[in-house]
Structure 1
């Protein structure tokens, strides 16, 4: 982006930049804007733009204060549509805040300062415009018809007016696509359903910054979600989701992030630091620092944005904040050298989650209750929860000291090729096979190479890089059994969590209670 349009902002005054879009009505006219600088407390009413940057290698020229600047294609399409709105035209037009232009992206210090103001920028905006893209005329186009229809029904009846027993059977979405009429009666419209799928699958819902921007938008009726020239409000999306999740039907996809955003709005700044791990598992950012910086407006963290800070130092600072808040349950579920996406070259201790990897862990879905978003293993209590243990602590920067109990070791791996191999093995039920990640269809091939048998003959499954000799342990705050690997006489590497049949867990706990297995301290590095 061209630098001449930028002058240093006065941080003491909390200055920000705002854009006034200009347009003479010609469709082929270049994007032009006048940019002003104003102290935040004295700036005019404005609208804040929430959008996905898109491919930063495909840029479009715009003219700001007479100088050419480069912006991403997605931002350019958004501005071309928004300049048509009466809201942004004429003598009383509203200025617009768009981060790619209003923040000097080449000034690292300014970026850090403006990130600290993001909470105020979005919470104080008169309007927030969430840009979802523009129609292409293809099958991937978004259609807000179902959103408006269901939101209206929800508002009028709170989910009680869908006719037909077929809807109560909670048809799968694929069934509805084949034949929507039994579910929707006179309201059926297959184009609307397809458009609803495309809405749910929009890349907009996958970006870390979007979470904060949605949470901070203060007025649900002035928070607009726009696709081309069509818009719905945040309140309509909430009502749509509530209706779809209601008792009569489950035949349309819910909009991602909306339940999460509702939870965060409800809890305000009291949201604990551990939620960062859950959000980063489903949302990503081009800069790994933004896995944390992109949530500082909604998460309780005493961290100052610094875009020159090494990523591992920032993540270690975040993890220390999690431990300080005392609610660290299942944080280790997001870490481990046994996962295929872990690399020693990244410089991360084995116990520290690499939030920037957006690694997908088993047992996590947007369809799960909110508690599951924060903690992937929230379906059960930690085995050692009933024991009085010393709190984990970080020593010498790279060592996590944590209490646990050593159980047994992995004897062999790659033990199953087909599901039928497990039928005669020591797995208590087909349902438990699912918990272990084992295919439940007889004869189905097990593609993963992480199935193992322990020294005592117990079958289980672990991360992709599980090795013979890895030690099974119960660790403080971890719901599932952990795998550790010896580094040297005093330290261990954390490999990841593993799944066993449920029976050995109870046997291990009974041995711990009898004193046959001792609680000890592990130094993870």
Structure 2
């Protein structure tokens, strides 16, 4: 890519691609790269797209003599955007930024938000048209301009929640004429005007909407990392951090410098520590174990992995009464020096030591579908744990009523939905208790018997019995089915009982000898694994957990000694 040296950039400049029009005698893509000030550019379109498979390549001829390698997915997008009669000015990160120059990327990537704001329009390329997609785009096109006219850009997030709740209660609402809907009866998504033009799908943002403070005010870097965690693989893993900095409201205070000479492990580690230093220790709830790289500390989330939902996502982000295991304490930031960037030092208390772990909650076992009753096996484990003396004699579970309460709170991680259509939740109430008592409690004794029987039959028989039990589940009450659905919160988790008598649900990878601890400033407890390296107080972070009896700060009033945890 030596030709980039012929069109160098200053810190306040960007390159644009002038994509040549289609010509019968010159097939293929051609264009001219030129430099322009970012604060006063000509009209141009910013292109948002998925890079696609980096190993499948095509070419574009730049400035008449240089062939630039691009992904095939970008080639398809450019062919759709290419005009018949005139060139079009575009900004495309893959072409306008020298991807082989770490220093240039460190300057240009943080400007991406400004670049999109300066563009006359932003086009999101979703791919070639498929069966039925034209109808969807035509429908959205028909209502896009009307949405702006009636003031959709003034909608807040709370308005949108109300609208979605209305749509869930009255599905026929969606089939009525859009022109009959008032400004508080349209979804925020309709602000995007989508049109079908020669195969491309442009999303033309209304600028008032794009700069709406309501839309951006809670988008911290930690929030954005969580939000985009499940998105497709980034072409450069470091861009899971660097690519979001331009959208993060706390980017300046975090002070993260874009540096493509660092490995992705170093980038994730540095960003996580900076987020925690700003008092956001709950970013640890995104952690999974083990990692895909041994160079990633246990307390840093491997953002390239698809992972289970966090307890915080399921229960407390929109909860009326969120968990507060130690959220009211004064959080002390990491104490280690820059010479030990892989170590996170936190303060807190050890609540219990793991005694036994139960069976995982999953709809399949050894590749064979479990029946709904079989999926209730963790409930059986919880019931048996609560009945053992170390639990029944513990002060927090001394009364029969309190032990009974724990049996139905733990399997749903103490939450229930107020309105599932918009994701609002609350701590579990008598609604969940009645669902558990009326149906679930009666079938729990059958789960162990069924499990024993299935050990002696083959896969086909197990699948046949699973089908029978799925049919039986249809006979459960609506509230019982709702309770069963809420158990998805413990997907790929398992119950545990501690030596001190605490019962809860934790990561699938936890084992006997791990400790349940509360870290100062955190909303939920965590499971740590002691490391015997001779230095003492060293731990690996296994993951977050729900521990009955300490989710509202009770552990801080138990007189437990403060610990210093050096997490590697």
How big is the shift at 1:290?
0.7
* Structure with the higher fraction of residues in helix conformation: 2
Structure scoring higher RCO (CA < 8 A, sep ≥ 6) equals: 2
Residue from 520, 524, 528 that aligns with 1:476: 520
Superposed CA deviations along residues 201-247 of structure 1, whole A, max 9, x for unmatched, are xxxxxxxxxxxxxxxxxxx8899897824545334997xxxxxxxxx
Give matches, 1:126-145, under 5 Å: 126-136=120-130, 138=131, 143-145=136-138
Change (3 A) 1:447 1:126: closer
* Matches of 1:57 and 1:368, distance apart in 2: 40
Q: Does 1:450 align with 2:494?
A: yes
Mean CA deviation greater in 289-298 or 106-115: 106-115
The aligned residue for residue 327 of structure 2 is 385
Superposed CA deviations along residues 125-148 of structure 1, whole A, max 9, x for unmatched, are 222222222213x35667224434
How big is the shift at 1:466?
0.6
Give matches, 1:425-504, under 5 Å: 425=384, 426=386, 428=406, 430=408, 432-435=410-413, 448=492, 450-488=494-532, 489-501=536-548, 503=549
How big is the shift at 1:486?
0.8
Change (3 A) 1:484 1:121: same
The aligned residue for residue 320 of structure 1 is 273
The aligned residue for residue 107 of structure 1 is 101
Mean CA deviation greater in 428-437 or 347-356: 428-437
Change (3 A) 1:228 1:353: same
Q: Does 1:18 align with 2:16?
A: yes
The aligned residue for residue 49 of structure 2 is 51
The aligned residue for residue 522 of structure 1 is 565
Residue from 323, 326, 336 that aligns with 1:394: 336
How big is the shift at 1:302?
2.0
C-alpha contact 1:147 1:237 (8 A) present in aligned 2: no
* Matches of 2:307 and 2:377, distance apart in 1: 30
Superposed CA deviations along residues 461-516 of structure 1, whole A, max 9, x for unmatched, are 21121111111111112211211111132312221111233x3546xx5564252x
Change (3 A) 1:397 1:150: same
Flag structure 1 segments of 5+ consecutive residues without an equivalent.
160-166, 177-181, 189-199, 201-219, 239-257
C-alpha contact 1:276 1:291 (8 A) present in aligned 2: no
The aligned residue for residue 275 of structure 1 is 223
The aligned residue for residue 160 of structure 2 is none
Change (3 A) 1:306 1:505: closer
* Matches of 1:225 and 1:399, distance apart in 2: 52
TM-score, normalisation: structure 1: 0.69
The aligned residue for residue 228 of structure 1 is 199
The aligned residue for residue 68 of structure 1 is 67
Superposed CA deviations along residues 446-474 of structure 1, whole A, max 9, x for unmatched, are 98463322224544221121111111111
Superposed CA deviations along residues 33-65 of structure 1, whole A, max 9, x for unmatched, are 222234445653322211111122222333222
C-alpha contact 2:22 2:83 (8 A) present in aligned 1: no
Residue from 250, 275, 289 that aligns with 2:238: 289
* Matches of 1:150 and 1:224, distance apart in 2: 10
Change (3 A) 1:280 1:27: farther
Change (3 A) 1:380 1:415: same
The aligned residue for residue 408 of structure 1 is 352
* Matches of 1:82 and 1:135, distance apart in 2: 14
Flag structure 2 segments of 5+ consecutive residues without an equivalent.
156-164, 179-188, 361-373, 387-404, 417-434, 452-489
* Matches of 1:496 and 1:110, distance apart in 2: 37
* Matches of 1:463 and 1:126, distance apart in 2: 48
* Matches of 1:318 and 1:155, distance apart in 2: 42
The aligned residue for residue 80 of structure 1 is 79
Change (3 A) 1:140 1:457: farther
Change (3 A) 1:303 1:183: closer
Report the structure number with the largest CA radius of gyration. 2
